[in-house]
Structure 1
Amino acid sequence: MNRVLKSPFLVALLAGVVVLVIAFVPAFWQVLRGSSTAPVSAPEAPWSIAARGDSVSAFGLQLPGSTLADAERRWGEGLQLAVMAETGQPGALEGYVERFDSGGVGGRLLLATALDDAELLRLQQTAAERQPAGGTLWRYPLRASERQALGAAPLVGLSFIPAANLDAQTLRQRFGEPDEIIAPGGRLEHWLYPARGLAIAVDAEGRELLQVVAPADFERRLRAPLKAAASPAASAPR
């Protein structure tokens, strides 16, 4: 079974509790580091996320449809690829652009891929080195040959953290009213836009997080994990 369907990929905070969001990678700390890549055009701004049927375009990529090769062509060496895994676990392959200028809105972009356990373990074994990433988490950077060989790996999720805070009023102006809010009134709310495959974590004390998946995957990869992590009374339909 595909690893994406079995284990969490992005650590997010929900009312002070660690929430594991299936669509994204476990090494969430990586997006808080800074580097540089070339700026992108305004059509790739966060609010340009657009869905057509079962697909969504965001940040210059398409879900489903885009692959690691597409991301490689877009960012080249600015795209960092590594398997992030706890000791003895398959982990997940993450791609990230440490500094992404999305239509004038700077931030960090993560890309989630779909690889099975056997392939993830193989990549750990063939990695040039193993780097500590905090606690029992390890980072296994991909060799250049592996980057090329994995070009056909599909992207299944995108995550963007703006460098500057986007307040609730700005988010409503740009995205409209969410269809549902998980944990309304708390420090961290999750605004859900299923038709666009979009979930926004609105943090009253920190930066926001935009998560995008194919609309057909929204329930499985985003809404269900977030709902499961919240108390039964912590969500409100709009």
Structure 2
Amino acid sequence: MERHMFVSVLLGTLVLIGIGIFVLPGHEAEGPGRMPWQIEPVNGSIRVFDLMLGKSTLADAESVVGEEAKVSLFRSPEGEIDIEAYFDEATMGGLKSKIVLAMAVSETERNAMYNRGIRIATMGSGTRKVTLAPEDQRHIRRAPIASLTYLPRIDLEPEVLTRRFGEPERRIADPEEDTVHWLYPELGLDIAVHEEGREVFQYVPPVDFGKIVRPLTAGES
């Protein structure tokens, strides 16, 4: 009983520390550039977590995070191919999170990497998950980052998000996902605010922000 109580208190304390980092002004646990609200627009792109989207590479991200990413290629049933790099345990600005990077690779290169894949697993949706060949793993680490998805391990209240990011320019509800998307076009940021779950932050260059908005408004007349 005492052990369970200690663990519960410890977990509660860690959550409060994480929320405190978001709430308290000037609390920058790892110095400038490593907090999710520190977004610097630069020549049509943004710098976030010390990474410039469209310029910084996966190798740069691994240096910032301090660990090696897991890289996979995904091929949808419609034939669309994406390559993602995944950090399961990233600590940025004192906050534990997951980070997913979409890599900027040409269609020709993606198709070639798919054909060279050394292991293929079919997921429930019909999407194929491919393990890249060693030479392609090395190549991907020199490729630029197209977009970044940040998933903090704490649930954040809307008031906390507003305090750090300000009011969004637009909110779009997604009833099927029980989510409201907070959109900040000038920052290239979409925060998916879940009613019961944790938030998802997606960062893209502002010039590409339409790629986020179009699927959200596809059903509007």
Same fold by TM-score greater than 0.5: yes
The amino acid of 1:129's aligned partner reads R
Percent of aligned pairs with the same residue?
32
* Unmatched runs of 5 consecutive residues or more in structure 2: 1-28
Distance 1:127 1:184, change over 3 A: closer
Q: 1:41 aligns with which of 30, 34, 43?
A: 30
- Deviation of 1:71 (Å): 2.7
Normalising by structure 2, we get a TM-score of: 0.76
Q: 1:135 aligns with which of 115, 125, 134?
A: 125
Q: 1:205 aligns with which of 196, 211, 218?
A: 196
Q: Distance in 2 between matches of 1:78 and 1:72?
A: 6
Q: Distance in 1 between matches of 2:76 and 2:114?
A: 11
User: Any residues of structure 2 matched to 1:1-238 within 5 Å, and which?
Assistant: 41-42=30-31, 43-75=33-65, 78-87=68-77, 89-183=79-173, 187-219=178-210, 221-229=211-219, 231-232=220-221
RMSD of Structure 2 on Structure 1 (CA): 2.5
The answer to whether the 8 Å contact 2:183/2:191 transfers is yes
The answer to whether the 8 Å contact 2:77/2:127 transfers is yes
User: Secondary structure of 1:96's partner?
Assistant: strand
Q: Distance in 1 between matches of 2:108 and 2:174?
A: 40
The amino acid of 1:41's aligned partner reads E
The answer to whether the 8 Å contact 1:90/1:117 transfers is no
Quick check: which has more Rg, 1 or 2? 2
The answer to whether the 8 Å contact 1:55/1:62 transfers is yes
Q: 1 or 2 for the larger relative contact order (CA 8 Å, sep ≥6)?
A: 1
Normalising by structure 1, we get a TM-score of: 0.71
